[in-house]
Structure 1
Amino acid sequence: MRYGANDVLRDVRFQAHHGEVLALLGPNGAGKTTTIEILEGFRMRSAGRVDVLGADPAHGDERWRARIGVVLQSWRDHGNWRVRELLAHLGSYYAPYTTGQVQRPWNADELVEAVGLTAHAAKKIKTLSGGQRRRLDVAIGIVGRPELLFLDEPTAGFDPRARHEFHDLVHRLARDHATTVLLTTHDLAEAGKLADRIVVLAGGRIIADGTEDELARQVAGEDEVRWTLDGSHHTRTTPDSTGFVRELFARHGAAIGQLEVRRASLEDTYLALVREEETATR
């Protein structure tokens, strides 16, 4: 994607697999939302090839659109709609695209139950809490039983309980309904909990692609080892915590106490990757 002489995205290459939860991570301005919008067919790319469910999203027809679901960062609709009534209405648009393999859309009552809004089915949207509203956003996104679901910053503003329940819902969609999920998030803990694979964008290009463990191995980060010896507390950083601990016990044996090894987290890995990219492009 290019705006004037500025390349917002360049050489971005990745593939999402069937039933996979794939997270796009990156700092503000990295190109995450632009990437998602190109894949959704909302934004026309400047060059390159994009294939989503066997079609170019720039030319996707209504039958293709019926196979994808989109949950935006925020959604605007009339607050006087009632939850079940809105979902039943939106679902009616998908009925013509029902096939022998996929029964579209969801039954409104089953969908309300699936997103945990049964007790609020008859309520007006404007009376819902933030967490309840976000669940409704997801219900709107999946009302047509999509094969591919796009989630853009899905839990922004959630409290911890709502976030945990939302994570459970995403896992159920991927596990029980074979839905492929592509999400963007700034929340590293969320990416670690939700994603089967993580793609890191920085400066408009992909700088890492893999599982949480694979990303950690890409960065030569150092582990932190803490222990006590003769009543004193000690801390050491080392690239090989296993070897260091083995040597420590060989020297001091049972005198070692309160041993703790802190390995590089996803946050450590992410920050190291972004710093390396920023340093390389200066």
Structure 2
Amino acid sequence: MGNMIETQRLTKHFKDVRAVDGIDLTVARGELVALLGPNGAGKSTTLRMLTTLIPPTSGTASVAGFDVVRQQREVRQRIGYIGQGNGAGHSQRGRDELLSQGRAYGMGLRQARTRAAELIDSLGLGDVADRTVSTLSGGQRRRLDIAMGLIHAPELLFLDEPSTGLDPQNRANLQEHILRLRAEHDTTIVLTTHYLDEADSMAERVIVVDHGRVIADDSPARLKAEHVGDTIRLGFDTEHAAAGAATVLSGRGGSAYGKELTIRTESGPRQVPGMLEDLRSAGLPVASVEVTRPTLDDVFLTLTGRSLREGGSKTDGTPVPELVEV
């Protein structure tokens, strides 16, 4: 069947700014991939090219087997896109918006009604589907947006910041709905988010983009192990004991500060018993043990030098210029 998304040297220039600088991507059918990057990194521009909203300056991209430049209609028929804003008209009823969306994709009225009913049921919108959109809560509107993006049963769904503005409970509910829908419909999903815990818990792969290039592409677990590792902190009763422990465990690359020894390693919980046995044999009892597992925030900071939410500036501190297409 081939990959759902394939790009080769995909590039986009805005005046003198190279927003996307030769990105190579592959996304397999059925995958759930998180595309991460700070503001100005090229993430949104990449999505706009993949959804046929803007043409690339150079390079190629295919979505669902169709070229994003030469076969835009075929691409648009096979994708769903849920942006950051609400897509439904505020004065319209939710069910009517779903029917209109289905008809716009060429569905017959009976087919659109059947599909709308399925989505209303699966997304828990049964009690509110016939209310006007303006009366819905933020979480209900986002679920309606998801339904509108899925009405034509797309092979590929782009979710751009789907949880923005939602409270923690609605965020958790929406994540559950996305995962269930993916399992039921085998939909390929490309997710962008500023909630790295969301990417960590949902995505099989995380692709990090910075300065228009892919700088990391792997599973969340492997990214954390490769770029950060676990942190083990061993506490002692005296500074002398901590220094002695650093000597005993010198092969593990630890550093002592005060009464604490800090070691970065892979598989921290598995390493602790052996360390404690070595220190006990050396007559250096440990007073406390703490193992900290890395997060995607730690990975992002290591890779880019800034947190994901630090947008609008480059690593040298200069502002990212406004992008104007030419």
Distance 1:80 1:113 in 2: 22
- Higher normalized strand content (fraction of residues): 2
Gap runs ≥5 in structure 2: 1-11, 240-257, 307-313, 317-326
Q: How does 1:1-282 map to 2 (within 5 A)?
A: 1-96=12-107, 107-219=115-227, 221=228, 223-229=230-236, 235-240=260-265, 241=268, 243=271, 246-252=274-280, 255-256=285-286, 258-275=288-305, 278=315
Distance 1:106 1:46 in 2: 41
The amino acid that maps onto 2:304 is V
Superimposed CA distance per residue, residues 21-44 of structure 1 (whole angstroms, 9 cap, x where no aligned partner): 111111111111111110000011
- Structure 1 residues 195 and 57, CA gap change in structure 2 (3 angstroms): same
- Structure 1 residues 136 and 198, CA gap change in structure 2 (3 angstroms): same
Gap runs ≥5 in structure 1: 98-102
TM-score (norm 2): 0.76
Distance 2:72 2:15 in 1: 29
Distance 1:184 1:27 in 2: 11
Contact 1:197-1:211 within 8 A present in 2 as well: yes
TM-score (norm 1): 0.87
Percent of residue pairs bearing the same amino acid type: 35
Aligned partner of residue 181 in structure 1, secondary structure: strand
Contact 2:156-2:187 within 8 A present in 1 as well: yes
The amino acid that maps onto 1:223 is D
Deviation at 1:229, TM superposition (A): 4.7
Partner of 2:242: none
Contact 1:94-1:105 within 8 A present in 2 as well: no
- Structure 1 residues 136 and 154, CA gap change in structure 2 (3 angstroms): same
Deviation at 1:250, TM superposition (A): 2.1
Between 1 and 2, higher relative CO (CA 8 Å, sep ≥ 6) is seen in 1
Deviation at 1:64, TM superposition (A): 3.6
Aligned partner of residue 48 in structure 1, secondary structure: strand
Query: Paired residues, what number?
Result: 274
Contact 2:88-2:97 within 8 A present in 1 as well: no
The amino acid that maps onto 1:207 is I
